[in-house]
Chains A and B, each alone.
Chain A
Amino acid sequence: METPLLQVTDLRLRYEGARDAVANVGFEIAPGSIFALVGPNGAGKTSILRMLATLQPPTAGRIQLCGIDLVNDPAEARRKLGFLPDNFSLYDRMTPVAYLEFWSRLYALSAHGEKARIDALLDELGLAEKRNALIGSLSRGMRQRLGLGRALIHEPKLLILDEPASALDPSARERLQQLLVRWKKRGLAIVISSHILPDLAAIADAVGIMERGRMVQSGSIADVARSVQGAQTLRIELCGGIDRARRVFGERGTKVEEPEPGCFELALEDDDAVAVLVEALVLRGARVRAVRPKESALEAVYRASAVAEVA
């Protein structure tokens, strides 16, 4: 197995006089991979990200980034990480170039490297044309990308993103996804928290599901999905033979829901059962237009974990 870039061991955070905000959390991230943190509000995702970003010292546990202990040597660790918090602000009266120059100086980049890096970043982020506009005049998506540029100005090994897509429109979200995938391919490790599970499912390699400060599931999405198998809901869409399909379901005793005519949702245990059911529908004259999971594997895993936790 590849040496992990980030190792989190028995991480714990307790605010004074309160219950544990994060309890015994552990996970690893390899270079060139995306780790998704999901969970309801207050589950401890942001607390974990703030600890990873050295903004909050943990009560107990260990975080190692490239072999550097984040608690003992936060300044050195900060050179290797970039952080974009939720609801971040920029300096509205600066231009993107001046903003990135300010940050590159804080990271003590050389003047030559600074200029080249800023130009390359602005190009990649699609902000080259706005390089001398005031930040206050940029759209939300552009500001988000500039924030990413700020987090990447010093070429970190780890990028930490807290709900980066929460206020973006679909096209901006798609663009963000493309950027993340591109950076991942270049070897950047990314930790990302988000409520937009389909987006995460499309790009994440591994997932950690948080619930009340604990990580109730973690691992690759496929592994985690297997561990909660049986939870997936299938959606079958028909363009004809709807009554025949209803009869098939009735005869087989399959519990189905029909949220709209010609659209059936049912839980199936395994892939064989799906094949048998679809074959039966086709043989009986139902015209199957599409068979797909009602939700992504990540959504199914998250829902199953949440249900288990409540139970």
Chain B
Amino acid sequence: MLLDNALSAFVVRGTHGRRGVLLVYSALGTAALFLLSMVVSARAAEDHSYIDPLALADMLAMIFVACTLLVVAPAVVAAQVGEERRAGTLDLLRTAPLSPTMLAAGFVVGAPGGVYLLSAGPLALHCVATVFGRVPVASSIEAVLILGVGGVMLMLVSMLASLTMARTSNAGAAPMMIVGVLAMGALISVAMVSGAGSTAWAFVHPAGALASVYEQFPGPFQDALLSSYQLAQLKHGSASAWQVIEPLFALLVYAVGSGFMLVAARRALAGDPPAQLTKTEAVGLFALATFAVLVPLRATQVGAIEHDLLAISVLSLVPAYVLCVLASTPSAVGYGDGSASGLSSRGAPLTAAALMIATIAFMSLAIFGTAALRVFHTPGALGFSAAFAGLALTLPIYALFVVTRVTTTAGRLAIVAALSVHFVAQLFAWTFGIDLAYRELQHGEEVPVLLAHLGMVFGIVLPALVAWRQRASDLALRSA
């Protein structure tokens, strides 16, 4: 009862009482899409080719719905939450007898109410196309599920981004950024779908997963996006299998990701201290990211050498790793206090960081099997892996150390200098490590080997120094 009321309140507010008008617009827009499809179909017939007008209208309708639900709606949610936060009305909403989950649901369901109403006509058209056999029923269900679950996940991500930004920041900044990132992500993921080597990565944006659904059956979408060569490639081997798996895999990742995002958004909406994720959630989210990257990587045709795969995987996971560690550390002060450890939400990120690195190692072994172990037989690859581990374990520590402990200009300069040395050393280790991994050591290559080893040493010694300094600082704080 309360949930119904709360959601209806948000929906009514989101549509500004213009539900009828928006539905009329939606119907008119859908009719226009259908007319346009008929015109294109007629033109094609003049050129002795055949385009089914209903299938084309369905494709256009789904592109419209994808744009509204996967790009515009998340931006609207971010804008609404940001504005409520800036104006202080979010605090008022928090005094209503709504749980944070209901409040989050209110924003997801209500804020883009107008967008949903505009999508109603095109979705009805999609149903008609399904009924008339232009879209297989299974594909239709997959498509709608991807739009729904993917849309919810993106809206929750946007809400979280808006809740994370400084309260006084421009409320328009978050939605603008979100529109840019999501639109770009949609274009890239749709482009990835058409390549046999990259189709497994289409899940990175729900638009890509939707495109992979539409690529699986003959129709205007397949004709428009794929050449006959690409189509033939996609019918082969793992790419073919992956095309079938992709939508389900994407749904799994979106659903689990939505769970994490909802938990974090609930906490932020409840007004708890500004930890976006607990340490446990951070490890869980990173495990999901690792799973989502490594599984399709197994099916990606990037070459026969296994350490290529591992190299790409760890590289692509670095940003996710750093974000997870930083988001799970509640605040500079909480970290600086140093009184809690392990996986406590107020503790230092070291344990969580180590768990995340262990997650990569475990999943690499589980997914790539012994190939992952063979990689480490080569000294260069070992150097590369050690360098990654050093960098990955220390990046968040550096970042947090800078924001919590270094208050003087000289101190900041010293940290920047140390970071620079570290990065340069790691760069050498990575470059030469990867290079040497491919072949036997040649005469006169002692210098690169030395630099690679130096990089590894820096990757261990510098973090150790920082950690030691951190510990001393913690102890001093505690005794004070």
> What is the interface of chain A, defined by CB distance below 8 A to chain B?
16-17, 53-56, 75-76, 78-79, 81-83, 85, 87-91, 93-94, 98, 101-103, 105-108, 150
Contact = CB atoms under 8 A, between A and B. Distances in A.
B404 to A, nearest CB: 10
B95 A105 contact: no
A173 B188 CA distance: 59
A85 B6 contact: no
Nearest to B272: A57
Contacts of A78: 95-97
A88 to B, nearest CB: 6
Given A16-B331, A88-B92, A89-B88, A105 B12 contact: yes
Given A83-B92, A103-B96, A150-B92, A91 B13 contact: yes
A107 B6 CA distance: 8
B181 interface: no
Interface in B215-265: none
A75 B92 CA distance: 13
B212 to A, nearest CB: 40
A98 B17 contact: yes
Contacts of B337: 16-17
A89 B99 CA distance: 22
B266 to A, nearest CB: 13
For the complex of A and B, the 4 pairs showing the least CB-CB separation, nearest first, are: A105-B9, A89-B87, A17-B333, A106-B96
A90 B1 CA distance: 26
Nearest to B103: A106
B94 interface: yes
Instruction: For chain B, give the interface size range.
Output: 20 to 34
17 contacts: A16-B337, A17-B334, A54-B95, A55-B91, A76-B97, A78-B97, A89-B87, A91-B13, A93-B16, A98-B12, A102-B12, A103-B9, A106-B5, A106-B6, A106-B97, A108-B1, A108-B97
A106 B9 contact: yes
Contact of B97 (A17, A79, A88): A79
Interface in B330-361: 331, 333-334, 336-337
A113 to B, nearest CB: 12
B98 interface: yes
B221 to A, nearest CB: 39
A48 to B, nearest CB: 15
B95 A87 contact: no
B89 interface: yes
Given A75-B97, A106-B9, A106-B96, A87 B1 contact: no
Nearest to B336: A17
B20 interface: no
A105 B89 CA distance: 16
A83 B95 contact: yes
B301 interface: no
Interface string B88-114: 110111111111000000000000000
B333 A105 contact: no
Contacts of A79: 97
A78 B103 CA distance: 14
Interface in B127-163: none
Contacts, number: 75
B303 interface: no
Main secondary structure of the interface of B (DSSP, over half): helix
Contacts of B6: 105-106, 108
A77 to B, nearest CB: 8
A102 B9 contact: yes
Contacts of A93: 16
B95 A53 contact: yes
Interface in B1-20: 1-2, 5-6, 8-9, 12-13, 16-17
A93 B1 CA distance: 27
A81 B88 contact: no
Nearest to A90: B89
A14 to B, nearest CB: 12
A124 to B, nearest CB: 20
Contacts of A53: 95
Given A55-B95, A82-B95, A83-B95, 19 more contacts: A16-B331, A16-B333, A17-B333, A17-B337, A54-B94, A75-B97, A79-B97, A89-B87, A91-B13, A93-B16, A101-B12, A102-B9, A102-B13, A103-B9, A105-B8, A105-B12, A106-B93, A106-B96, A150-B92
Contacts of B98: 75, 106
Contact of B92 (A85, A94, A105): A85
Nearest to A75: B97
Contact of B91 (A85, A98, A101, A105): A85
A89 B89 CA distance: 6
A159 to B, nearest CB: 12
B273 interface: yes
B271 interface: yes
A101 B95 CA distance: 16
A78 B102 CA distance: 15
Contact of A108 (B5, B89, B271): B5
A100 to B, nearest CB: 11
Contacts of A89: 87-89
Contact of B89 (A55, A82, A91, A98): A91
A107 B96 CA distance: 7
A98 B16 CA distance: 9
A103 B13 CA distance: 10
Contacts of A75: 97-99
B126 to A, nearest CB: 31
A56 B271 CA distance: 7
